[in-house]
Amino acid sequence: MRPHGEVPARADAFGWTFVTPLFLGSALNPINSSIIATALVPIATATHVSVGHASVLVSALYLASSVAQPTAGKLAEEFGPRRVFLAGILLVLLGGLVGGSGRTLTTLIVARVLIGIGTSAGYPSAMVLIRRRATWAGADAPPGGVLGGLAIAGMATLAVGPPIGGLLVGTLGWRAAFLVNLPVAAAALAMAVYWIPRDHPNDGPRRVREVAARIDVAGIIGFGGAVTALLVFLMSLPHANWAVLAVAVVAAGLLVWWELRVATPFLDVRRLASNLALTRTYLRSGLTLLGFYTVLYGVTQWLEAGRGYSAEQAGLLILPMGVLSIVVSRPVSRRNLVRGPLIVAALSLLAASAGVLLLTAHAPVILLVGVMLIFGITIGTSTVANQTALYAQAPADQIGTASGLSRTFGYLGSIASATITGLAFRSSVTDHGLHTIAIVLVAVGAVVLLMTLFDHRLTAPVRRSTRPGDTVPETTPAIDARHAVLLVMDYQPALLGSIPESEALLARLAGAIAAVRDHDGQIGYVRVAFEDADYAAIPATNKMFAARAAQGFLPEGAPESAVHEAVAPQHGDIMVRKTRVGAFSTTDLDRRLRDRGIDTLILAGISTSGVVLSTVRDAADRDYRVFVLADGSADPDAGLHETLTEKVFPRQAHVITTTELPALLAA
């Protein structure tokens, strides 16, 4: 047996002992999201409230989770994902006990809030653990099988929750919707303690003020206030509480103002604005889940109150949807597919929504099952594809917060779905109300389809994997040219002489420069050259430059030290001269880039193992988004160039080609 906390060999980086607790912990939130659907009617009866009032239990969990998910992701990044994962499970156990013994609606609301906060730790912590494990194992592409398993764990419990909940509630009573957390959470806790490797020790004791600044407590509070106010407004409909909406708008404005000024923002507004591909993934996921949850809750209520089915029967009628979603998701996750499955998801959402228009109190059961199966295609394709897009688009050091924020958009969609269902069934559960829901869903499906068809960044460029003959699709974020610079590094005659086929290399780079200029991007030139004082300042301990200084290598002002005329600079371009390898070393390049609002670097240089390697490392440490032009850089050692661009750089940069660059700029 492996000793506690020991990291396995890299070949077994994602063994079953590592992924099983992650899958189970991530399933806790979907379990509680869906299983309550069949318990609302008996809870309303037991607590002497209307079904409409009992539905606050749905909103309570989503309200708590919408704030807690990105917060848990931020805490996992800062304090360690295992610690946050375990703390969340303990809260779930507490919430299950409170809810299982509760007698009033207020007590049940408290239990749902505790469960919402606790289950929120599972998914973002799992994403942090998976991303770190993939980096440690040297994986160049998203671990599709693991991400697919994580998505399936959520989908399975989300989709089969109603039938399971129906059986539990029908057999054991509504308290089972809370008590079911106890055995599941206990199993997840035991697995996590023994099978998930311990987090690295924190860097010594830190002051409270320092910790608060690192996790941006003010940003978390502001985000929570804005989201809470927005959700309260949505829940107030159709009797709109405009004052609460005004509070939400003001809180959101203050949040943006604050996040633009702090060093480590909880909600990286700049990155959201520049990484529009990720922002669109959030919106697309939220809208799709709005449609799914509207069906999940709306159809379930209609089956029970409109057609007179029991909770068990209603759950069993929805079961095929969950089964098919799992089946569909497998090939999507294994191949890391994105665009195609999302188009299928949007089309199936439209088709299924139109099918709901055909449902009536006298419609045959086979029609209902058919509509549910089409919705199964929607959830099976969209969940996995959006998760893969998120993994590829989110910065590695912010994967926890980004994953949690993705769930927040999903919760906003679920709250909106509860609002839509409440409006449609505000007086009674009727066929007319169900058809009203269907019309809304058709509109949502149309929006999702248009977003997907016109989002050209979903076309995943193909990367070569580490195995000959294999290809791995990867979604690369778009480049905002207004905040990007193409750095042309060491393109000097003296250095180009060691590169075979340098004329073709220069032609490719000239095309890349033209593309960046066409999109109003900036060009920067970095070259190495020495004045007499620079030679004198090089110590004998410098293995690379000491010998070259003695030879008078690349003197300032010599033709061989200038930028090659084929890629010559123009007026207004950034120009720096360096006396060491990296572009930032011995230059004021960082300050000049910051002054121009640059946060994205596109690197091309001679050589790959020299200036490009040094600059990638340094730029990543300075928190720039980095792109490397693989065919715009070269090295005298072709094998070394291939190793760096295929295995090393992808850990800190997006490796692209000059032919891919114009599309990224246009997106």
> What's the confidence (pLDDT) of residue 6?
40
Q: What is the pLDDT of the chain when averaged over all its residues?
A: 82
Mean pLDDT within 634-658: 88
Orientation angle between helical segments 208-215 and 56-79, nearest 10 degrees: 120
Task: Looking at 541-595, list the stretches that DSSP marks H as alpha helix, in order from N- to C-terminal side.
Answer: 545-551, 589-595
Q: Any idea which of 339-343, 587-591, 629-633 has the lowest mean pLDDT?
A: 339-343
Confidence of residue 157 (pLDDT cuts 50, 70, 90): low
For residue 302 the two structure tokens come to 């209609």
Q: Any idea which of 137-141, 423-427, 445-449, 535-539 has the lowest mean pLDDT?
A: 137-141
Give Cα 226 to chain centroid, integer Å: 21
> What's the confidence (pLDDT) of residue 457?
65
What percentage of the chain's residues is helix, strand, coil (to nearest 5)? 70, 5, 25
* Residue 3: pLDDT over 50: no
Residues in contact with 407: Cβ distance below 8 Å, sequence separation at least 6, in sequence order: 29, 65, 66, 69, 70, 120, 123, 124
- Indicate the SS3 state at residue 604: strand
> What's the confidence (pLDDT) of residue 321?
79
Prior bond of 477 cis (ω within 30°): no
172-189: pLDDT as tens digits: 888 888 998 999 999 999
Prior bond of 493 cis (ω within 30°): no
In this structure, the strands spanning 462-464 and 471-473 are: antiparallel
Query: Which residue in 317, 441, 300 sits closest to 378, CA to CA?
Result: 441
* Residue 239: pLDDT over 60: yes
The domain locations on the chain are 15-201+208-216+262-464, 217-261, 479-666
Mean pLDDT within 598-607: 94
- DSSP code for 564: P
Residue with tokens 């569909």: 328
570/67: higher pLDDT: 570
Residues in contact with 200: Cβ distance below 8 Å, sequence separation at least 6, in sequence order: 80
Fold match between domain 15-201+208-216+262-464 and domain 479-666? no
Mean pLDDT within 526-552: 84
330-357: pLDDT as tens digits: 788 777 778 888 999 999 999 988 988 8
In this structure, the strands spanning 574-578 and 654-656 are: unpaired
Count of all residues that appear for the chain in the document: 667
* Residue 25: pLDDT over 70: yes
Mean pLDDT within 157-168: 67
Q: 51 near 40, Cβ under 8 Å?
A: yes
* Residue 284: pLDDT over 80: yes
Q: Any idea which of 87-101, 449-463, 613-627 has the lowest mean pLDDT?
A: 449-463
- DSSP code for 632: G
Rounded to whole angstroms, the Cα distance separating 386 from 389 reads 5
> What's the confidence (pLDDT) of residue 582?
93
Mean pLDDT within 3-27: 68
* Residue 577: pLDDT over 90: yes
- DSSP code for 5: T
Mean pLDDT within 475-491: 87
Give Cα 571 to chain centroid, integer Å: 40
- The rounded percent of the chain whose pLDDT value lies above 90 is 25
Q: Any idea which of 170-184, 231-245, 551-565 has the lowest mean pLDDT?
A: 231-245
> What's the confidence (pLDDT) of residue 161?
64
> What's the confidence (pLDDT) of residue 348?
92
Confidence of residue 592 (pLDDT cuts 50, 70, 90): very high
Residues in contact with 491: Cβ distance below 8 Å, sequence separation at least 6, in sequence order: 506, 509, 525, 527, 563, 564, 567, 604, 605, 606
Q: 526 near 640, Cβ under 8 Å?
A: no
Query: Which residue in 115, 83, 135 sits closest to 182, CA to CA?
Result: 115
Q: 73 near 26, Cβ under 8 Å?
A: no
CATH placement of domain 479-666: 3.40.50.850
Mean pLDDT within 53-57: 79
15-201+208-216+262-464 to CATH, choices 1.10.3720.10, 1.10.20.10, 1.20.1250.20, 3.40.50.620:
1.20.1250.20
409-459: pLDDT as tens digits: 887 787 777 778 877 887 777 888 888 888 988 999 999 999 998 887 664
> What's the confidence (pLDDT) of residue 4?
38
Prior bond of 607 cis (ω within 30°): yes
Rounded to whole angstroms, the Cα distance separating 121 from 91 reads 10
Rounded to whole angstroms, the Cα distance separating 402 from 389 reads 12
The helix/strand count (H/E) of the chain reads as: 28, 8
Confidence of residue 132 (pLDDT cuts 50, 70, 90): confident
Rounded to whole angstroms, the Cα distance separating 92 from 575 reads 57
- CA distances 127 to 23, 134, 222, 426, Å, are 10, 10, 24, 39
Query: 450 phi and psi, to 5 degrees?
Result: -65, -45
Q: 136 near 13, Cβ under 8 Å?
A: yes
> What's the confidence (pLDDT) of residue 429?
79
Query: Which residue in 142, 141, 139 sits closest to 127, CA to CA?
Result: 142
Residue-by-residue DSSP string for 341-366? HHHHHHHHHHHHHHHHTT--TT--HH
Query: Which residue in 389, 417, 394, 410 sits closest to 155, CA to CA?
Result: 410
Orientation angle between helical segments 311-334 and 365-393, nearest 10 degrees: 40
- CA distances 596 to 523, 569, 619, 620, Å, are 12, 18, 16, 18
Task: Looking at 201-338, list the stretches that DSSP marks H as alpha helix, in order from N- to C-terminal side.
Answer: 208-215, 217-236, 242-259, 269-274, 276-301, 311-334
Q: Any idea which of 127-141, 462-476, 478-492 has the lowest mean pLDDT?
A: 462-476
CB neighbours (10 Å) of residue 441?
A: 27
> What's the confidence (pLDDT) of residue 563?
93
Q: 353 near 444, Cβ under 8 Å?
A: yes
479/12: higher pLDDT: 479
> What's the confidence (pLDDT) of residue 609?
92
Mean pLDDT within 258-275: 76
Rounded to whole angstroms, the Cα distance separating 531 from 9 reads 51
